[in-house]
Chains A and B, each alone.
Chain A
Amino acid sequence: MTTEDHLHLPPADTAPEGDDRWAFGTGFTDPLHGVDTALPPGADGAALAAYCLALGDDALVLAQRLAQWCTHAPELEEEVALANIGLDLLGQARLLLTRAGQADGSGRDEDRLAYFRDAPEFRNVLLAELPNGDFAHSTARLLALSAWRLALFGRLTGSADPVLAAVAAKGVSELAYHREYAAQWVVRLGDGTDESHRRMQEAVDALWPRLGELLAVSATERRAVDEGFGADPAAVNEEFEAVMRQVLDAAGLRDPGPLLPGEPAGRLGAHSEYLAPLLDEMQSVARAHPEATW
């Protein structure tokens, strides 16, 4: 392959006139525009693929959980907000899974990775796959995962892998909004009525022990740092913890105590009983019609 083949130039680039057809314009941007998608020289493709897969799976699985709020959220506006957040994450997952399939040399595309792996092959943290619970539980989980991911992506914008850096740069503003959305709800409920405070506190207490896995440093993450395309987990975790405590304080919620890194579980493929049914639903159409296109 020549260098030109690696340059990502979306078809939209060649047809900018479409923009004039719409009152508001379209002005859509492609996060990978002009990014060299060739593997950086000397990069360990398998290590990069594993890292992208882990981060892609976090987003894919949480996107599916968020989509499950559709028709169940307390207000129509919240439903749209949660679905939007899910779609942002799905967009991140698509780019990351695509990158994983390129980097490991297997030639698997995003659909192959999303729809034709079984639960033990997924590398997301358990926190992403847990059932939604009530709105307080979902909000607490969203706060934790978006705060952690924002701390991570902010640093990945300097990744040695240009694709990962571009995906992170796109994700930062999305995640900043997700974190803001979740934090507002945690504060609103924590600082609300006795009942909302009680339920938000319960959700935070249930969340806390789950955060150990998020803070754990798996072999995948350690290798990513050694190879220069990953972000330093210590710095990410420190920022994450500071954000969590700041939100709890603003919400008048009791701090459940120290946060300590636990053991990697989902990153090694050891999942809860909740992941397989989630995947069954998500993968059912693709598996029933494996050759379908749209």
Chain B
Amino acid sequence: MRNEWPLYEVFVRGKRGLNHVHVGSLHAADDRMALTHARDVYTRRNEGVSIWVVRSDAIAASAPDEKDPFFEPSGDKVYRHPTFYDIPDDVPHI
């Protein structure tokens, strides 16, 4: 059996992005190595200005079979969207 390095998830903020976006995963022995690997694997086409890495096993995720109880109830609550207002033309950034 082969000893594998732990898996990390990689998040990159692009030059024009306001937030970090998940771009993929990789193996690394520790946090520092994960950052250098992320730099080498995910930013080689000039994509990024900032990188986050986090061990995959540190992420808590919703399960696929929870999809309906989690997300279905919000599907018919159209009133939660502020679409019933007339927005004046001179109000930006809505």
Contacts and interface: CB of A to CB of B under 8 A. Distances in A.
Scoring A26, A75, A76 by chain B CB atoms within 10 A of each residue's CB, the highest score goes to A75
Given A77-B41, A184-B36, A24 B26 contact: no
Contact of B40 (A24, A25, A27, A81): A81
Nearest to A77: B37
A69 interface: no
Chain B, interface residues (CB within 8 Å), range: 20 to 34
B32 interface: yes
Contact of A24 (B27, B28, B36, B47): B47
B15 interface: yes
B67 interface: no
A77 B46 contact: no
Interface in B37-94: 37, 39-41, 44-48
Contacts of B37: 77, 80-81
A81 B36 contact: yes
Interface residues of A, number: 17
Interface string A10-26: 00000000000001111
A181 B39 CA distance: 11
24 contacts: A24-B14, A24-B15, A24-B16, A24-B45, A24-B46, A24-B47, A24-B48, A25-B14, A26-B46, A27-B46, A75-B27, A77-B26, A77-B27, A77-B37, A77-B41, A80-B40, A80-B41, A80-B44, A84-B44, A177-B39, A180-B36, A181-B36, A184-B32, A188-B29
Interface of B: 5, 14-17, 26-29, 32-33, 36-37, 39-41, 44-48
